[in-house]
Structure 1
């Protein structure tokens, strides 16, 4: 049974907009914390000053808040482990660098990138795992001093302890074994004196009390390095779980060519937060309950044992499905804000609530609602080609009879249809499609009876008259 003192984190690098992959990572960590009444921490890993920008930080904070993934520790919230931006924690990292050097577990490395790449290619060609050969590990004190005096800027490497195997139990993938000699001494501080990603990442997880780390499987090979680092420093090691990557329909890493968009792009397109998190929660995690759930409902049923090991395939149709579900479960005020002023300007105020309820099942995005608003209330209805074909086939006698029926019975749809059927002998599609084409310019859409009531007798007559004139 999982303890309640669970603390998870999301630690993005602000070098771009958040996409579906890293937002799913954030969601899984937030759900795990919420399920156990634990804590969800946000940390900004902005040590790469060339690629990290304030705009990206602002965007990712906005995306998380919009999705409802509120953090209990992190930027904007006072916490005992602040600061929560790595660019402000350099003194902490320097202290641990010095501890490792004092223990003889770190040494300066003067090897050039060109030299390292040449050795790496040779190892790969020989079928060997690429690893550092320990060239600078054998330098004497005098040799190091001479290189420093010559102005060379060294990186700092961690010296792998002489243990045979690094073992840990992955929360998703089970027992993992890594041979220490295949890892090789690795860089923990770059030549520009900035910490390597997995060094600062591991140190902060330990110092901030993170108990569980869910992250992409692309980080799996970093884990034995981080475990060795933390063990060497006497720091606590969190439980790691590596989730399957999201791929496109062709099995390759998800990208824009598969229809993937950033979270901000999805928001601007009109996707609702609940649609996105209902979809992402099921992308690589199995839920017995297939109904629409809020965050608490998703968290209650979130289980590490249900995280899949196989790549999760992105399917835009599934995202559309959950968008429709989100719309079906949204209240009027949410939908009013979602539709925006462009739709409101097209629809008569006294018809607005009725309009929303009628078109709700027939829209996915606000642009769909705008098309319906223009089709139902615009002055110049545009007919689709197939709709014009149906209107032409129905003929003028049909629309003359329809006008007469509406003239006698108004928008009492059932009575109008009964009279029209008797007058024209039309039935089925021959009866309903010409009416739909005349009123909306389309051959599908909301229920006709509801459209009659929504549009009112004057507008219905105008549309029928136009078809008669055609």
Structure 2
């Protein structure tokens, strides 16, 4: 059975890059009627954020990328939180020691710092010098008896080639002399990523290990561990890293990475997934707009380009705008109502939809355009000439059938009567009614506001 997993570390809030990975895992598992698992990798105690796990699951629910097994949907392969699996990791670390594929390291932090600094001065990558690999059994037993602090390191043999087959890049070969003797088990009994991910993926019967390409360089350690344990390797897939427009890695410094920002801006989750699907993958018919179900039917890892795709916020906004324009007015009305936490009358929102539907690209664009419908906004600095506001008020009082076209005809007639410039006149009227120089169609806006409200706003300025 196809079993994919999202290995999520609760060291920060949900990231668009995380959702990008989850999308591929979820789609591939569902295409093959397999299982999609979410595993919480919380072994970095110092960096763990208290509510990050909760927010991760809320984000997955928002995107409707709901898992089959996790800490909240237990299955036969649990526990699904790594901090609940510490005894398992200790067992397998000891197995590696018994096989002479790992060893105890008693080096102090000071000694390790000295090694690191020395190598850095020599322009070499910081790697452990295998000092404790040469300790004899008697010395090791004595140190363990004395309860000296230790870690367990992976044994990486010298002068061999370590090969990994990546689904996107083919065979990748590493020289073992450039691979460090990785810490597998820390002194506090917690595993590092490398031991935990291999043990968990094997025991949870993960068929495809899907990770970002930044992990490719460390894959030699993963391969060694599978070989040392004598376990069948999963299919390795290293997806491309999302890039900023300047080709740098997608990060908070140059872009909006947190899922919460997209929620606050009023992007639709299905549109974000549609956009992310196009990052490194192309629809066989060249389509840009498609559903998650359609993507699932068509998706295969082998069709992903390994070249890092550029995250273009303008493109995402365009796609979100298309989604808005194609939405039914009744649905859009409800979405806007809920987005603004039901603060504004839904009946009034519904009337404004036809005026702004073609103008907004995300839900947060609505209020800047339509706030004046819900409260008067007076900015006298925008009105150059208030001398004829009383004339406007007087003329509008005469309008009995309060419809946009009749309001427009009445105002056009007043422009001729006053012999003023049309542009300046209507700008004054627009600012008096909406408080802005740019607004939805003025006459229709006045119809929605109603005669009484329009006269009231003019009266406050006249």
Band the TM-score falls in, shorter-chain normalisation: 0.7 to 0.9
User: Which runs of 5 or more residues in structure 1 are unaligned?
Assistant: none
**What CA distance in whole angstroms lies between the structure 2 residues aligned with 1:434 and 1:291?**
43
Partner of 2:372: 375
The answer to whether the 8 Å contact 2:339/2:363 transfers is no
1:407 equivalent to 2:398? Answer yes
Aligned with residue 351 of structure 1, among 334, 348, 352:
348
Aligned partners of 2:17 and 2:257 also within 8 Å: no
Cα 1:78–1:148 change in 2 (3 A) is closer
1:25 and 1:401, CA in 2 relative to 1: closer, same or farther beyond 3 A? Answer: same
| Secondary structure at 1:210 match in 2 | coil
Q: Deviations over 1:22-61 (max 9, x none)?
A: 2222223223323443321101112233433552222211
Sort the Cα spacing of 1:141 and 1:52 in 2 relative to 1 into closer, same or farther, 3 A: same
List runs of 5+ in structure 2 lacking aligned partners: none
User: Of 438, 444, 447, which aligns to 1:450?
Assistant: 444
Partner of 2:101: 105
C-alpha deviation, 1:235, in angstroms = 1.4
Correspondences of 1:62-211 after superposition (within 5 Å)? 62-161=58-157, 164-211=160-207
Alpha carbon RMSD of aligned pairs, Å? Answer: 3.3
Distance in 2 separating the partners of 1:341 and 1:137 = 60
- Give 2:28's match in structure 1, choosing from 25, 32, 38: 32
TM value normalised by structure 1: 0.84
User: More deviation in 407-416 or 25-34?
Assistant: 407-416
1:371 positional shift: 4.2
Cα distance in 1 between the residues matched to 2:279 and 2:394: 52
User: Which residue, out of 292, 296, 305, partners 1:295?
Assistant: 292
Distance in 2 (alpha carbons) for counterparts of 1:167 and 1:403: 85
CA contact (8 A) 2:90 2:185 kept: no
In the TM superposition, what is the alpha-carbon distance from 1:284 to its structure 2 partner? 4.5
Distance 1:450 1:31, change over 3 A: farther
Does the 8 Å contact 2:250/2:257 carry over to 1?
Answer: no
With normalisation by structure 2, the TM-score equals 0.85
Cα offset, 1:400, TM superposition:
2.9
Q: Distance in 2 between matches of 1:125 and 1:286?
A: 46
SS of the aligned residue for 2:378 comes to: coil
Judging changes above 3 Å, is the alpha-carbon distance between structure 1 residues 301 and 418 closer, same or farther for their aligned structure 2 residues?
A: farther
The answer (yes or no) to whether the contact 2:383–2:428 under 8 Å persists in 1 is no
SS state at 2:388 partner: helix
Question: Deviations 1:195-228 (Å, cap 9, x if unpaired)?
Answer: 1111111111122122222222221122111111
Matched, 1:336 2:351: no
Which residue is 2:412 aligned to? Answer: 421
Would you say how many aligned residue pairs link Structure 1 and Structure 2? 457
Deviates further, 428-437 or 226-235: 428-437
Change (3 A) 1:464 1:313: same
Aligned-residue offset at 1:229: 0.4
Cα distance, 1:345 vs. partner? Answer: 4.6
* Alpha-carbon distance in 2 for matches of 1:32, 1:245: 19
2:372 is equivalent to residue 396 of structure 1: no
Aligned to 1:459: 453
Deviations 1:93-144 (A, max 9, x none): 2222232222221211112333233333444444544433322111111221
